[in-house]
Amino acid sequence: MLRLDSVSRHFGDQHVLDGISLTVPDGQLLSVVGPSGCGKSTLLRTIAGLLPAQEGTITIDGTPVHGVPERLAVVFQEYGRSLLPWLTVRDNVALPLRRRGLGRAARRAEAETMLERVGLRGAARRHPRELSGGMQQRVALARALVCRPSLLLMDEPFGSLDAGTREDLEDLLLELHRGRDATIVFVTHDIDESVYVGDRVVVLSPGPGSRVVRDLSVGLPGERDQLTTRGLPGFVELRTEVGRALRGR
Amino acid sequence: MTRRQDVLLGLLGSAAAFGVCEAVARAGFVRRSYLPPASQVLARAVRLAGDPAFLDGIGVTLRAWALGLGLACAVAVPLGLLLGAVPVVEAAARAVIEFLRPLPSVALIPLVSLLLGSGTRTEVTLIAYASLWPVLFNTVYGLGETDPLAKDTLRAFGSGRLAVLLRVELPATAPFIAAGVRISAAVALILAVATEILSGFGQGLGIFIAQAETATDGTRDVLAGVVWAGALGLVINGVLVRAERRLFAWALEPRETAGRLRRGLRW
């Protein structure tokens, strides 16, 4: 269980996060929505231990976390910058396995299995730049999941992909998440996406000094489908509610 | 521009330069013994390729060049990583580096000769000193250019500071380092020949040039030696450019961060 207790952060005298408290049960996919510039990324980086929390505490399963949590994985929006261009796709995916102390061959084998699961079986020996944006983000997803993280943080992961690719990757994420106990914090500025992928949606207020203004449970069936789910009355209601919260109404 | 056009224009430029040199010499503005025609210089340079003593000299010069350059890299890359990775060290070293850097290496030749004698040790030391800087500065600069997101990604996957340095920052900096080595390779060649000319005895391309100077009608030999020095520089540069293109193909793609690098690698 991930727990944030009045986490605040400022850069100089600019308040970015103002007392964020959240409890995320194991296995939940939490969408975090907020207007751009509200500090969503800062929140994610703080949870990841890449930025120190200045006030408040972050605990995982009751233990306070300082620095980068164990069994953490991240996916950033800018796949082109977070994949290492000098490594093959397979070696990029194998990278996080180093900390598990596996040998090179074992790492590569696991990476290839994971690549198969994200539909990139044939791309193992290619380099990231040879792939399309959607494929590169699949690689990033495979890299994040290969070490079976207990906490996965995603910062607008599909934000720079075209609509079709984006939907494919949303479904891939849901499929890979099914039956796993990883907790996922999924930051997005897209209302529909937040509801479609999320078990729960948290809306942040616009900055400076972002706070949680709405906390909604997504009561949609677990099996989701791009066409039918988005047409459900429950979906439409939720997205209206999230939209309203975003506009401060 | 295609590669073929590139080569063609290069040849055209070389032919034009050759033609001008030839014409100036033949027009008789200066005495023939001061400035022999380009064709004679070139013919002499080609004949030198069959002279075992001369080739031995080239070997000596290249050995000193390689030793000096290798030594410079062995010092500059770790030092650059240290300076680039630890801001405190960089701040402390900045004044010393900025003082040492503008000192013309050629001016140090007499001093170092005095300290180390006029043998290979002096030559290698001076080459290493002069070619240290481009590699050092490119290493520090390249480290600063490493994408913070790539570093964050690795940190989030549990890598420590050292692992991030070795697995992200060093590979990302490698193309910059290589460009620095290529610049240093030319500097090293200049220092190798210059040190030999000024120290004046032993063996090497610079020695050949220095001794030709004192001979009657030696200008042709001096210039032939210079042609060899230039040709060596050309070949070394060509080999290094090719190696960079091969090794760092991933950095040559037109990505937003690679634009500057690509121009850097080209020339």
**Banded pLDDT at B264 (limits 50, 70, 90):** very low
Q: Which residues of A touch B171 (CB under 8 A)?
A: 84, 86
Residue B83 has pLDDT above 60, yes or no: yes
Cβ <8 Å between A76 and B253:
no
Question: Best of B157, B168, B246 to disrupt the A interface by mutation (most A CBs within 10 Å)?
Answer: B157
Residue B259 has pLDDT above 90, yes or no: no
Q: Measure A89 CA to nearest chain B CA, in Å.
A: 13
Q: Which residues of A touch B255 (CB under 8 A)?
A: 80, 85, 129
Q: What is the topology classification, in CATH, of domain B53-266? A: MetI-like fold (1.10.3720)
Cβ <8 Å between B157 and A95:
yes
Q: Measure A143 CA to nearest chain B CA, in Å.
A: 10
Residue ranges of E strands in chain A: 2-11, 14-24, 29-33, 55-60, 63-64, 72-75, 151-155, 183-188, 200-204, 212-217
Q: What is the C-alpha separation between A141 and A143, in angstroms, rounded?
A: 5
Q: Which residues of A touch B (CB under 8 A)?
A: 45, 48-50, 68, 70, 72-74, 76, 78, 80-82, 84-86, 95-96, 98-99, 127, 129, 147, 153
Of B129, B134, B80, the C-alpha closest to B107 is: B129
Would you kindly state where each structural domain of chain B is located, as residue ranges? Answer: 53-266
Q: Are A201 and A216 in contact (CB under 8 A)?
A: yes
Mean pLDDT of chain B: 88
Cβ <8 Å between B150 and A82:
yes
Q: What is the ipTM of this complex?
A: 0.88
pLDDT at B261: 43
Mean pLDDT of chain A: 91
Cβ <8 Å between A49 and B150:
no
pLDDT at B265: 38
Q: Are B228 and B212 in contact (CB under 8 A)?
A: no
Cβ <8 Å between B168 and A84:
yes
**Banded pLDDT at A179 (limits 50, 70, 90):** confident
Q: CB-side exposure of A83: number of CA atoms within 13 Å? A: 33
B27-39: per-residue pLDDT in tens?
888 887 788 889 9
A20-77: per-residue pLDDT in tens?
999 999 999 999 998 888 888 899 999 999 987 788 899 999 899 888 998 899 999 8
Q: Measure B70 CA to nearest chain A CA, in Å.
A: 24
Cβ <8 Å between B152 and A50:
yes
Which token pair is B38?
Answer: 């380009």
